[in-house]
Chain A
């Protein structure tokens, strides 16, 4: 049975932090980082996390929520899962409004968890079953004035894995588990502790990673010279070229790691690079993917003739073009909770979430599903037993009506500086959906001047509030301008 990739999507947050701006702010303290102060790194908005980015990447490879989204499973790989006990992949499934029969699994623990999740999933894909979504996402925090702060980026990737209409089949895979501790993060900690780079390079990566890759190539019956594309995400400069040499892979096969434009996005980075490569790969191309982290994981793919038939909603290239340069270093610190700005008394508001209420309204809140009256066609959010009708309220006539992917525009809006909001001014307004439905919603990824009455908007799944007292993240949907894939600065 052939199994492999049957769909793919990506997500990169809109903000691109200027490394020069970061360095300028910290140069007094860490002048030695000047060499890394080039290009940009992606920066998640304050209301994004591993889960929301995974949802965005998943939506990039799925049909609209009001059409059929048959999946048999959701796997989320990350080392920065927001919840230790609440199925993070389950939150993704809820946001995607998937049927409750879907399986869900979190995969964590190493930087190769993305590829581990792919291999684990493909090992159990069965013919005739709906595809499994594997999303890999990370939002890693680094200490101010550290190298990681400049090297990291935020982002996510998603693959649909299945056995029908395969775009790239898995020829082989290989895993090596070595408790090589180049960096670590104890449970409950936010920031990695990192050992000397030269040791990691010489004793770790260059000894462990090629072994896994060579084994995968051997299983596939291929030589390094036959590899058309080599994906090996690492923030160690020149490392992927060195490993390619060790494997006798031609230098031009090494896939650019997008360090200049994105940074190293963590667990999702390898898959993200893959989603960027696939649209340009020829049918029959051999792709070797390698990931390092407490051992190494490798996969050999071969693209099929069907590859040209697939396009993600935006894809990595589209997301890359959609960025906006951020030059405020303190914004980055504040968004990651590393700089305590004065919130004022309005910031003292309790954000306790009634979990009973959340459960009762879970499809509305998590999946943005309204209710459509079968008699009048009016759309209600949240759904209600009584529908509005000028001739009289109809009882129990509403059926679920997903809104997340329907065209929408602004009816009315404002942007205010009064309430506490992590990214002022706080934009919100009435959103009208084509075909019915209206919600007063927050806007996100907006700056003054971006919106007016009539602006087309799309829905994104984001963090609504963070309850700092009980450490609970509340999610909901927000509206953001539909943006062409043009770079704005």
Chain B
């Protein structure tokens, strides 16, 4: 049986650009912004990096394909640069590759960087994806808000919840994230909002309104990882190490059997179970101190709290309305504003989640610093509820 990743790899340094409508910055500029911060944080030079993984989702906007855009933008010393792409979970995928490279002993220090330049499309929302030659011939020309909004219709049907009650709960999700994002100088959306504003906003995809949808942002985030031993040798203290790193990818069960009820994300439950086991966590509701979940839409965050076994099944609405996930709640969720307000530059988002967990564990989160969290969890979801990639990582302080 595999021994898992727990405590084998530490974060040496991280960086994150300001997210938002970065009309001023090219994707290369955004990469440099995150990379230089990570290098300075790690206290190393470029020639100490052995290999790099590069996450970016869109081909038509941004930098195109392959590893060269990052190799050239960052003037990396002719090291291997591999582009990875796994929908919105690509950032976590880059981290996973870099972490595994270090854990294998093939690399001492590896770089994971994600970038997305979404605001060069000329319109709001995500760019239209290319999906091959078969899918367009039968699949609806579906957009993300409607794909995720379907969780709401199935969740309502399953738990017998009326539209108004669900709308109120998911409104609280967004109000909470806006309150958090207002305290984050790198966040895209920094204005607090009220429940009334959320409920009265125009509908984007029934029942989701404008404020139920996350920001569409430009941005980049970077992580340098190494072994705890090398980190210590480089003078680092209070190390943050990976406790778990799990990915689950749909195999068609959701669509090709009639067993899935459409109200939750199956892969999230699988990845969560594996991650808790890898990290040695038995009571996640008690042990997870904070989390960054993939709140592309408010309903996604709501069902995810159940998929991660923090809220009991059917109990998310009560927990949300009780403030369980608020900044002063038991398990603060999206303390940096989340995708909702920090923003969602797709290829960077998984690394941005990790960045916040890292800052919090290091006590460097400024105004939004939490008390003394032991474990931080990131949940990075790519695709749509019916077929997706779900990546979950757990990080915490290193005792070794």
A356 to B123, CA, bound (A): 33
Once the chains bind, are A346 and B206 in contact (CB under 8 Å)?
no
Once the chains bind, are B154 and A448 in contact (CB under 8 Å)?
no
Chain B proximity of A367: nearest CB distance (Å): 12
Stretch of B144-152, B327-335, B362-370 lying at the A interface: B144-152
A440 to B140, CA, bound (A): 7
Once the chains bind, are A388 and B253 in contact (CB under 8 Å)?
yes
Q: Could you tell me which residues of chain B, from 123 to 174, have a CB within 8 Å of some CB in chain A?
A: 123, 125, 128, 133-134, 136-143, 145-147, 149-154, 156-157
Decide yes or no: A412 and B262 within 8 Å by CB, A438-B256, A442-B140 being known contacts. Answer: yes
Decide yes or no: A412 and B151 within 8 Å by CB, A418-B125, A440-B142 being known contacts. Answer: yes
| Binary flags per residue of A416-458, CB closer than 8 Å to B gives 1, else 0 | 1111010001101110100011111110000010001110000
A44 to B203, CA, bound (A): 28
When distances are taken between beta carbons in the complex, the residues of chain B under 8 Å from A384 are: 256
Decide yes or no: A354 and B133 within 8 Å by CB, A414-B153, A418-B125, A454-B157 being known contacts. Answer: yes
B251: CB under 8 A from chain A?
yes
Once the chains bind, are A361 and B204 in contact (CB under 8 Å)?
no
Once the chains bind, are B145 and A380 in contact (CB under 8 Å)?
no
Once the chains bind, are A430 and B146 in contact (CB under 8 Å)?
no
Once the chains bind, are A388 and B153 in contact (CB under 8 Å)?
no
Query: Among the listed A361, A365, A379, A428, which residue makes an inter-chain contact with B142, where contact means beta carbons less than 8 Å apart?
Result: A428
Once the chains bind, are A419 and B143 in contact (CB under 8 Å)?
yes
Interface size on A, residues (CB 8 A): 55
When distances are taken between beta carbons in the complex, the residues of chain A under 8 Å from B258 are: 379, 432, 436-438
When distances are taken between beta carbons in the complex, the residues of chain B under 8 Å from A476 are: 137-138
B205: CB under 8 A from chain A?
yes
A412 to B153, CA, bound (A): 5
| Binary flags per residue of A108-119, CB closer than 8 Å to B gives 1, else 0 | 000000000000
Tell me the nearest residue of chain B to A360, going by C-beta: B134
Q: Could you tell me which residues of chain A, from 391 to 408, have a CB within 8 Å of some CB in chain B?
A: none
A413: CB under 8 A from chain B?
yes
Once the chains bind, are A453 and B154 in contact (CB under 8 Å)?
yes
Once the chains bind, are B122 and A452 in contact (CB under 8 Å)?
no
| Binary flags per residue of A378-389, CB closer than 8 Å to B gives 1, else 0 | 111110100110
A170 to B126, CA, bound (A): 61
A413 to B151, CA, bound (A): 8
Query: Among the listed B138, B257, B263, which residue makes an inter-chain contact with A365, where contact means beta carbons less than 8 Å apart?
Result: B138
When distances are taken between beta carbons in the complex, the residues of chain B under 8 Å from A418 are: 125, 143, 145-146, 204-205
A280: CB under 8 A from chain B?
no
A388 to B253, CA, bound (A): 7
Q: Could you tell me which residues of chain B, from 86 to 110, have a CB within 8 Å of some CB in chain A?
A: none
A474 to B140, CA, bound (A): 12
When distances are taken between beta carbons in the complex, the residues of chain B under 8 Å from A382 are: 134, 138
Once the chains bind, are A364 and B256 in contact (CB under 8 Å)?
no
Tell me the nearest residue of chain B to A344, going by C-beta: B123
A250: CB under 8 A from chain B?
no
Chain B proximity of A379: nearest CB distance (Å): 8
Decide yes or no: A416 and B157 within 8 Å by CB, A345-B123, A382-B138, A464-B137 being known contacts. Answer: no
A382 to B137, CA, bound (A): 11
A340 to B251, CA, bound (A): 42
A436 to B259, CA, bound (A): 10
Chain A proximity of B204: nearest CB distance (Å): 6
B17: CB under 8 A from chain A?
no
Decide yes or no: A416 and B140 within 8 Å by CB, A378-B257, A382-B134, A440-B255 being known contacts. Answer: no
When distances are taken between beta carbons in the complex, the residues of chain A under 8 Å from B251 are: 388
A225: CB under 8 A from chain B?
no
Once the chains bind, are A452 and B153 in contact (CB under 8 Å)?
yes
When distances are taken between beta carbons in the complex, the residues of chain B under 8 Å from A380 are: 252, 256
Overall SS of chain A's interface: mixed
When distances are taken between beta carbons in the complex, the residues of chain B under 8 Å from A419 are: 141-143, 146
Decide yes or no: A416 and B134 within 8 Å by CB, A345-B121, A430-B150 being known contacts. Answer: no
B261: CB under 8 A from chain A?
yes
Tell me the nearest residue of chain A to B256, going by C-beta: A388
Chain B proximity of A98: nearest CB distance (Å): 20
A430 to B147, CA, bound (A): 10
Chain B proximity of A401: nearest CB distance (Å): 12
A68: CB under 8 A from chain B?
no
A412 to B386, CA, bound (A): 11
When distances are taken between beta carbons in the complex, the residues of chain A under 8 Å from B143 are: 416, 418-419
Query: Among the listed B128, B138, B146, B255, which residue makes an inter-chain contact with A416, where contact means beta carbons less than 8 Å apart?
Result: B146
When distances are taken between beta carbons in the complex, the residues of chain A under 8 Å from B146 are: 414-416, 418-419, 426, 428
Chain B proximity of A353: nearest CB distance (Å): 7
Decide yes or no: A349 and B128 within 8 Å by CB, A416-B146, A432-B258 being known contacts. Answer: yes
Chain B proximity of A399: nearest CB distance (Å): 15
When distances are taken between beta carbons in the complex, the residues of chain A under 8 Å from B147 are: 414
A358: CB under 8 A from chain B?
yes
Chain A proximity of B190: nearest CB distance (Å): 24
Chain B proximity of A45: nearest CB distance (Å): 16
A226: CB under 8 A from chain B?
no
Query: Among the listed B123, B139, B149, B205, which residue makes an inter-chain contact with A346, where contact means beta carbons less than 8 Å apart?
Result: B123
Once the chains bind, are A453 and B256 in contact (CB under 8 Å)?
no
| Binary flags per residue of A334-352, CB closer than 8 Å to B gives 1, else 0 | 0000000000111001010
Once the chains bind, are A353 and B150 in contact (CB under 8 Å)?
no
Tell me the nearest residue of chain A to B203, going by C-beta: A417
Query: Among the listed B128, B154, B256, which residue makes an inter-chain contact with A412, where contact means beta carbons less than 8 Å apart?
Result: B154
When distances are taken between beta carbons in the complex, the residues of chain A under 8 Å from B137 are: 353-354, 357-358, 361, 365, 464, 474, 476
A432 to B157, CA, bound (A): 15
| Binary flags per residue of A449-485, CB closer than 8 Å to B gives 1, else 0 | 0001110000000001100000000101100000000
Once the chains bind, are A361 and B134 in contact (CB under 8 Å)?
yes
When distances are taken between beta carbons in the complex, the residues of chain B under 8 Å from A144 are: none
Q: Could you tell me which residues of chain B, from 215 to 257, have a CB within 8 Å of some CB in chain A?
A: 251-253, 255-257
Once the chains bind, are B140 and A441 in contact (CB under 8 Å)?
yes
Query: Among the listed A357, A390, A414, which residue makes an inter-chain contact with B150, where contact means beta carbons less than 8 Å apart?
Result: A414
A453 to B256, CA, bound (A): 19
When distances are taken between beta carbons in the complex, the residues of chain B under 8 Å from A387 are: 256
Once the chains bind, are A411 and B134 in contact (CB under 8 Å)?
no
A411 to B157, CA, bound (A): 9
Tell me the nearest residue of chain B to A434, going by C-beta: B258
Query: Among the listed B121, B138, B156, B252, which residue makes an inter-chain contact with A453, where contact means beta carbons less than 8 Å apart?
Result: B156
A476 to B251, CA, bound (A): 25
Chain B proximity of A473: nearest CB distance (Å): 12
A476 to B264, CA, bound (A): 28
Chain B proximity of A101: nearest CB distance (Å): 25
| Binary flags per residue of A201-223, CB closer than 8 Å to B gives 1, else 0 | 00000000000000000000000
Once the chains bind, are B261 and A411 in contact (CB under 8 Å)?
yes
Chain A proximity of B77: nearest CB distance (Å): 40
Decide yes or no: A414 and B138 within 8 Å by CB, A345-B123, A388-B257, A440-B386 being known contacts. Answer: no
Tell me the nearest residue of chain B to A441, going by C-beta: B140
When distances are taken between beta carbons in the complex, the residues of chain A under 8 Å from B133 are: 354, 356-357
Query: Among the listed B121, B139, B149, B261, which residue makes an inter-chain contact with A414, where contact means beta carbons less than 8 Å apart?
Result: B149
When distances are taken between beta carbons in the complex, the residues of chain A under 8 Å from B208 are: 414
Tell me the nearest residue of chain A to B156, going by C-beta: A453
When distances are taken between beta carbons in the complex, the residues of chain A under 8 Å from B205 are: 414-418
Once the chains bind, are A438 and B255 in contact (CB under 8 Å)?
yes
Pairs A-B, 7 closest by C-beta atoms: A416-B205, A354-B133, A414-B149, A412-B150, A453-B157, A412-B262, A414-B146
Q: Identify the A interface with B (CB < 8 A).
A: 344-346, 349, 351, 353-354, 356-358, 361, 364-365, 378-382, 384, 387-388, 390, 410-419, 421, 425-426, 428-430, 432, 436-442, 448, 452-454, 464-465, 474, 476-477
Question: Please, could you name 19 A-B residue pairs with CB atoms under 8 Å apart, sorted by A?
Answer: A346-B125, A354-B133, A361-B138, A365-B137, A378-B256, A379-B258, A388-B251, A388-B253, A411-B154, A413-B150, A416-B145, A416-B205, A418-B145, A419-B146, A421-B141, A428-B140, A428-B142, A453-B153, A465-B136
